[in-house]
Structure 1
C-alpha cells in the first residue's frame, strides 16, 4: 500500500490523500457489540477497551445513497466520556470489497464534511433541479472508492462534546485516533490503499495530518498566500477586482505591515501572540481592502450572490425524520464559530505548513494540488507558487500541459514524479461542485496511485 495525497484549492486550501495506515495488533481483541436505543433510534454499538473508544451507528438508513446493494453507516466515534465525532461512511458502488478507502475532511476550521458530501462529491446532491430532496450524484466519488466523511474538530456539523482543540497540530492525533476507531470496527479496510482528501483550511489539515499519519506508520504558507491575493485580484481570467493604483497601494501595505508580522510567526506551535498579531495586520492590510473594493464572491468571483452550490442540504439535515434515520440527536452547524474561534485564538491560520507538505512530497506517495480558477480566497496563483516551492527546479522546468476531458480543454496541469498540479477552468472554491466530471476523473487517477494525466 502507498499513501496518496491530493490537494485542491489554494495555499490554505486543497485536498489530500494518504494510504497504508497501520493498526496496532491489540485491535484484534477485547471488543464487544451491543444494541442501544437513542431518541427512538436503534443503534449498533461497538466498544473497544484498548482505545477507550466506542462506535455507535445506524446501518443502511436509506438517506442519500439509494443505489441498490450499496451499504452505508452513520453515527459517532466516541472517545472517552465527552468527545463524539460524527461520521458517515458509504461503501463503493463498484467492487466495494477491493476498492480503496478515502477520508474527506472539510475546512473551516469548524466546517462540516457534510459540505463535501452534499455539495461536492458524495452519493447525492442538491445541485441539480433545486428541489427539497436530494438526487443521486452520477459523479460521486464512491463510484470508485469507499468514502468516509467526518465532522471534525468537535463542534463541527453534528459532532459534539467538550473537546477544546486549538490548533492543527493538536487536531492531528485526534483524527488519527478516530481512524483507528474506524479500523477497529471495520478491519476489512485496514489493508486497503487509503486517501486523505481535504480542502480550504485543509491547506493546514492535509500536510500536518498526512505527515502525522506517516510518522505513526513508520492555506500551507500564508506569506505566499497574502502576496498572491493581490496578484490574483489584479490579474485573473474573469473579473479585475482592483485597479493598478490600488494594487500598488496594497502592495506597500503588505510589505510594511503584513510581511514583517508573518516573519515573526514561524513555528507550527507556540508564538501564539505573534501569530494572532499577524492575522490581524494581514487582514487589515490586504484582505479587507480587496473585499471592500468591489462586490464579489470570494469563493467564485464570477458570481456576486453566492447561491451555488445549493445550501438546501442544510435544511434537509435539520428535518427530524432525516436526523432520526442517520442516528443523530445534536443540532447541525455547517460552520461552527466555537472551533473556529479556538483555532484563531492561537493564530493557527497564519502558521506555515509548507515544510510538512515538503516532507510528504519527499515520500513515494502521490501528491496533487489543484485549484479552481475563479476562486479568490484559495486562488490558483498562490497554490501554484506553493507547488513550485515544493517541486523545486525540476518542477519549474517541466512542461505545462492541457488537461482534456470529453474532447474539451478543462484545465492545465504539470506532473513531476509523484507531485502534480492542476488548474481547473470555470471552477470556484468547491471544485467537484463546479466541474464534477473533472473532479471525479482526477480523484480516480490519484486514488489509483498515478500522477494525473489528460485523457
Structure 2
C-alpha cells in the first residue's frame, strides 16, 4: 500500500448557505485563536472552512490532514480515488466510522485516551471524506430542510459541488459511496440522485460538475421494512449464535407481523403519505422490534454480547469533547454522536418505513460496482434481512445471482465469510462481525473496499 493524504470531514454538512456571490472566494480567518481557510462557492452558496494539519488522529509522516467544516487533502497521488463514508441513524455521526471502523486512527483494542494509527485504514488506498449529515449530527450545526432521505440527498450533492469547485484536481477521480445501517436508505437514494444530476448536467438542465460515481458499498443496511421487519423474527430464532426467542414466540410474532405490521407497511407503500408511513413504523416497532429487544438481554449491534456491549469502545467520544482537541480541529460545537433532533425530523415523515429496494435495483442497473455486505452477529440490520433484500433485486444478472450458492471468501488465505457475485453486484456475509463490520474484521473490510472501489467483483486472495 502507499500512504496518501487523508480528507477528514468533521461535520461537512454544517456549512450555512450564504448569500449568492458572483465568483468563488477564498480567504483566511481567525476564530477563537484558530486559523481557518475559508472557501465560498458561488454556484451553490456553500461555505467551506478548514484547519490545516491539526496533529489529531492522522500522524503518519508525509500524510496531510485537514479538518473542520469541510476537510480536504492536497498533494495526493493523481490516480488515487475518492470515497465518502456515511454512518446511519438517521442522525449518527460519521466520526463513528472514522474512529471506530475504517479511519486513519482508532481506539479499538487500545487502553488509554489517545488513539493509535489504524493499519487497515481505508485511506491506505483512497482519499476519504467522512461527512456528518444531516445537519445537527456530530459537530454540525445550523438549519436545513432535510427531513427524509430524499430531501437530504441534494445537501450532500451541493457539498461535493463545493468540494470539486475548490479542488478541481479531484473532478475526474473515481468516486465511491460507502455507508452502513441507515445507509440502506442513504446509499441507494444518494447514488441515484448523483446519477440523475449527472444526466441533467449532460443534458444542459443542471449546472454543476459530474460526480464520477463508480462504486456503492453498504454493510448491514436498512433497505426495505417489509422484508426486514419479518427478518427480525427469522433471525432471532435461527441465527448462528444463540436463539433469542423460541418457536412458539416466533409464531406469535409472525401472526402480529401478518395482521398488524405488514398491512400498515403496505399502506405506507401504496399511499406514500407521511402519516401512513409514520404509523407503520410505530406499529411494527411496537409489535415486533421492541418486544424482541425487551424480551432478551443482548446488544442489538452484536447479539453475542449483553446489552451495552463495550466494543467498539466509545473512548473517541470523550476524546472529541476535549476542548483542546476541539480547538485543534476547528470544531465550533460540542460533539454529539447520535442526537435526537435530526432523528426526530426523519421520524416525522415516516422515512424509516419507506422502501429503497427499487431505487437500489435502479442503481445496480446503471452499471456501477455494488457491494452489499453484512456482519452475521448484527441484529438490528441482520444478515437474514439483508439476504432477503438482495434476493429481490432486479438487474440483468439477477437470475444468475440468485441461483448461485455462497462460497468461502478469504483474505490472505484466511476465511472471513461467504460470498457470491454476478455482474456488478457482490454480496458478502461476514463471520464473527457485528453491526460495524470494519471494526470486527478490519483486514477483510479493507480488501472488500479496495476491490469494490477498483470496480471489481469480490474475489478471494
Q: What is the TM-score of this pair, normalised by structure 2?
A: 0.88
Structure 2 match to 1:234: 237
RMSD: 1.4
Residue 340 of structure 1, aligned match among 327, 338, 343: 343
Structure 2 match to 1:166: 147
Cα shift at 1:96: 2.9
1:156 lines up with 2:137 in the alignment: yes
Residue 124 of structure 1, aligned match among 105, 108, 130: 105
Task: Indicate if the aligned counterparts of 1:164 and 1:342 stay in contact, CA closer than 8 A.
Answer: no
1:42 lines up with 2:35 in the alignment: yes
- Using the alignment, how far apart are the partners of 1:275 and 1:216 within structure 2? 27
Note closer, same or farther for the CA distance 1:164–1:336 as it changes in structure 2 (3 Å cut). Answer: farther
Matches within 5 A, 1:2-13: none
1:271 lines up with 2:273 in the alignment: yes
Structure 1 match to 2:305: 303
- Using the alignment, how far apart are the partners of 1:320 and 1:296 within structure 2? 34
Structure 2 match to 1:53: 46
- Using the alignment, how far apart are the partners of 2:65 and 2:32 within structure 1? 20
- Using the alignment, how far apart are the partners of 1:44 and 1:281 within structure 2? 49
1:253-288 CA distances to partner (integer Å, 9 max, x unpaired)? 110100000001116x94011001101110111111
Structure 1 match to 2:414: 408
Cα shift at 1:97: 2.6
1:451 lines up with 2:457 in the alignment: yes
- Using the alignment, how far apart are the partners of 1:91 and 1:396 within structure 2? 43
Three-state SS of the structure 2 residue aligned to 1:386 is helix
Cα shift at 1:216: 0.6
Three-state SS of the structure 2 residue aligned to 1:307 is coil
1:235-269 CA distances to partner (integer Å, 9 max, x unpaired)? 011111000010001100110100000001116x9
Matches within 5 A, 1:20-31: 30-31=23-24
Residue 287 of structure 1, aligned match among 286, 289, 301: 289
Compare relative contact order (CA 8 Å, sep 6+) and give the higher one, 1 or 2: 1
Cα shift at 1:393: 2.2
Task: Indicate if the aligned counterparts of 2:51 and 2:71 stay in contact, CA closer than 8 A.
Answer: no
- Using the alignment, how far apart are the partners of 2:73 and 2:47 within structure 1? 19
Note closer, same or farther for the CA distance 1:108–1:160 as it changes in structure 2 (3 Å cut). Answer: same
Task: Indicate if the aligned counterparts of 1:99 and 1:146 stay in contact, CA closer than 8 A.
Answer: yes
Residue 156 of structure 2, aligned match among 162, 171, 175: 175
Residue 97 of structure 1, aligned match among 78, 81, 87: 78
Cα shift at 1:201: 0.6
Task: Indicate if the aligned counterparts of 1:126 and 1:135 stay in contact, CA closer than 8 A.
Answer: yes
- Using the alignment, how far apart are the partners of 2:178 and 2:267 within structure 1? 30
- Using the alignment, how far apart are the partners of 1:393 and 1:448 within structure 2? 25
1:140-162 CA distances to partner (integer Å, 9 max, x unpaired)? 00000000011000000011002
Note closer, same or farther for the CA distance 1:113–1:55 as it changes in structure 2 (3 Å cut). Answer: same
Q: What is the TM-score of this pair, normalised by structure 1?
A: 0.89
Matches within 5 A, 1:354-393: 354-390=357-393, 392-393=398-399
- Using the alignment, how far apart are the partners of 1:412 and 1:108 within structure 2? 27
Note closer, same or farther for the CA distance 1:246–1:89 as it changes in structure 2 (3 Å cut). Answer: farther
Three-state SS of the structure 1 residue aligned to 2:393 is helix
Residue 325 of structure 1, aligned match among 325, 328, 332: 328
Task: Indicate if the aligned counterparts of 1:91 and 1:142 stay in contact, CA closer than 8 A.
Answer: no
1:56-90 CA distances to partner (integer Å, 9 max, x unpaired)? 111111110001111111111xxxxxxxxxx4445
Three-state SS of the structure 1 residue aligned to 2:372 is strand
Structure 1 match to 2:58: 65
Structure 1 match to 2:125: 144
- Larger mean CA deviation between 143-152 and 126-135 belongs to 126-135
Residue 426 of structure 1, aligned match among 422, 432, 436: 432
- Using the alignment, how far apart are the partners of 1:284 and 1:399 within structure 2? 35
Cα shift at 1:404: 1.2
Cα shift at 1:91: 6.9
- Using the alignment, how far apart are the partners of 1:96 and 1:125 within structure 2? 24
For structure 1, the residue ranges without an aligned partner over 5 or more in a row are: 1-28, 77-86
Three-state SS of the structure 2 residue aligned to 1:161 is coil
Note closer, same or farther for the CA distance 1:183–1:245 as it changes in structure 2 (3 Å cut). Answer: same
Cα shift at 1:128: 2.2
Three-state SS of the structure 1 residue aligned to 2:266 is helix
Three-state SS of the structure 1 residue aligned to 2:67 is strand
- Using the alignment, how far apart are the partners of 2:84 and 2:135 within structure 1? 17
Residue 111 of structure 1, aligned match among 78, 88, 92: 92
Task: Indicate if the aligned counterparts of 2:41 and 2:165 stay in contact, CA closer than 8 A.
Answer: yes
Structure 2 match to 1:25: none
Matches within 5 A, 1:205-224: 205-218=186-199, 219-224=222-227
- Using the alignment, how far apart are the partners of 2:368 and 2:452 within structure 1? 10
1:296-345 CA distances to partner (integer Å, 9 max, x unpaired)? 00000011131000100000001111111111121111001000001001
1:438 lines up with 2:444 in the alignment: yes
